[in-house]
Amino acid sequence: DGGITQSPKYLFRKEGQNVTLSCEQNLNHDAMYWYRQDPGQGLRLIYYSQIVNDFQKGDIAEGYSVSREKKESFPLTVTSAQKNPTAFYLCATTGIYSNQPQHFGDGTRLSIL
Amino acid sequence: SQKIEQNSEALNIQEGKTATLTCNYTNYSPAYLQWYRQDPGRGPVFLLLIRENEKEKRKERLKVTFDTTLKQSLFHITASQPADSATYLCALTHGSSNTGKLIFGQGTTLQVKP
């Protein structure tokens, strides 16, 4: 089945630790996005990538990093510089046209130990 | 600054009634408006897209309206069912944006009681 796979579903981070969230897609979509969702808030854009080897900061990029070495993969690293990382992280993809809907994975819930 | 507002309070309705959810925006001229459904612990799922030159869009029991003068979209679910209970998000894209970036509202939670 075509889709987006996020892993792990739950992740725990210790103080001073970097953690990486995985996002893999087999929809052959060019654009990929990372969002953060906090309770009672909308999705906020962290980073996005429209093409391999290129990515752009979103509205809340500080404390996060990404890479896009393959079309299928867009991993997100939550660094120790992100002081409030507890949230629900969502990865999405879309085709080349800006009016196309986004397809989402089922998220990773990150908590602090 | 650009702002999207959805009713933060949960909407509780009886099964069979029509649910109406509101999405208001300011300081923004969206070319497209989208509605998504999100279940607890899951990612959002796309429902409907409406363009700025369309007044209304329908899909089965769903209807979306888009009033660019009022800067408002209404999302209706007719003959609502308990299975429609979820959080509904509206999202906008800017007319000049070619990045596909969306700006999301905070969502409205709908509870349909049997």
The pLDDT value recorded for residue B93 is 82
Place of tokens 């209304």: B56
The pLDDT value recorded for residue A88 is 97
Count of CA atoms in the C-beta half-sphere (13 A) of A62: 3
The pLDDT value recorded for residue B9 is 86
- Strand pairing class (A19-25; A4-7): antiparallel
Q: What is the pLDDT along chain A (113 residues), one digit of tens a residue?
A: 569 999 999 999 888 899 999 999 999 999 999 999 998 788 999 999 999 999 999 999 999 999 999 999 999 999 999 989 999 999 999 987 667 899 999 999 999 88
Indicate the burial class of B83 (C-beta count within 10 angstroms; 0-12, 13-18, 19 or more). Answer: exposed
Tell me if B62 sits within 8 A of B110, measured CB to CB. Answer: no
The pLDDT value recorded for residue A83 is 87
Residue ranges for chain B with pLDDT beneath 70: 1-2, 94-98
The pLDDT value recorded for residue A24 is 98
Of B45, B49, B103, the CB nearest to A99: B49
Q: Residue B92: closest CA among chain A residues belongs to which residue?
A: A99
Contact B42 A106 (CB under 8 A): yes
Interface test with A, best of B21, B39, B46 (most A CBs within 10 A): B46
